[in-house]
Structure 1
Amino acid sequence: MTTMDTRVAVVTGSNRGLGLAIVRGLAEQGVNTVLTARSQQAAVAAAKPLLDEGLPVTPHQLDVTDIASVSRLVADVMYAFGQLDVLVNNAAVAIDPGMSAAALDMERLKATFETNTFGAWRCCVEVVPHMRARGYGRIVNITTHMASLSTMRRSSPAYRTSKTALNAMTRVLADELHADNILVNAASPGMAATRMAYGKAEQTPEEAARALLWLTSLPDDGPSGGLFHGSELMEW
């Protein structure tokens, strides 16, 4: 098992909001944390205040919809650190608020799935071989209360269903990878004050991040294949 002070983490979509708060939380624990954005310029700008504080943060370009970009990121992380222990799939888009499932633009639907579901899946495919080789891995897929089948309802159909698919991917990977000591869980942060928040925010991004960081450092006998809000196990 790896120790906390030697871990290396990648957080996708982390130049602002919840992702940036997760990066800060990990780095403050001594984790070498890779902050990613769709442009290198945005990643560097977001990382600068953290680096100025002496936190172990590395900026890197990442577009989760581009397999070459994902492969390049993982290759660069392995070259720089020799390991990749934690993946937080945070990158997401919400581009159909209030829209109807019965009249949804299919291009909007495809764009949503491309980032929210396939983007996270691409990242998992690239990091898992390195986690398997090390015998350790923690994957956290950021989801939403809106994706729960037990409370599914109208509005934001692309966003909801893309995250429901992400939840299903979480369950499949958790079962497949458990024997390799790679624990995979989904985390719903709840409503936080981010750019994607439609409606009243219940918490700051920092508060939301703190509530889910425990999933990035689970012991080997920790949970896998769960959907959590903070420490609360939710219904799928």
Structure 2
Amino acid sequence: MTLPLGPHSIYSAPPTEEMLSKLVYVKWCVLLTYLCAIGRFVADEPFGALNDLFGACFGTFLLKEDPALAHCFRCLQETALGAMSDGGLSCLLPYLLLATLNCAFGLLRVYTFATKYGTLLPCSERPVCYLPAWVLLSSLSQFVASCLCWKVYKLLQLQTLEYLRVEPARGHSTEDARPDGHHGHHGHHGHRHARNGRRSSRRESREGAHLIQPFQGTPHQLGDAPASTA
């Protein structure tokens, strides 16, 4: 099933109350991802922290109108990232994809820690000891965010399909209605009678043309003098 991308695309309609109720929880997941990015950077895993940071930035673009992230979004708009998107629901699928990938790789990393150390907290003396916990928290937050974004995406699909069903019906009702209050089927009969009348007029014209006999009457020649009478 393919939905239109244009003036009436799947992302053009404003979010409903049900969508907004789910995006509120996505906001907390994004804020938690920012926190996990800081924790992973302190725990000496800069590449994992960068992945979380990118995911949180996509979430910020998605929730650009949220008061808690609006200032952060305006700051990101001033950077090179601002040229990539204007934010809003058009960032829903990119954020969903990135959050799902980060969640999958993060859970795989957590499984590696668990099998290697037998626990997710092998020590407590150094910041690196908390790295498995940060990775697990990041994976869970992005897993919840991806589930909520998928539900919002399905709601957007239903909203667009409902619009596509209503709009053609509205167009047909406008065509069928006439300014004088009559409906379209009366108009079709009127057009049919008008066409029949035009055909009859053309047929009568052709029959009348056959009654005219050309070259009848007394011929005249130029220069002939009129006959004199005795």
TM-score of the two chains, using structure 1 as the length reference:
0.28
Higher helix share: 2
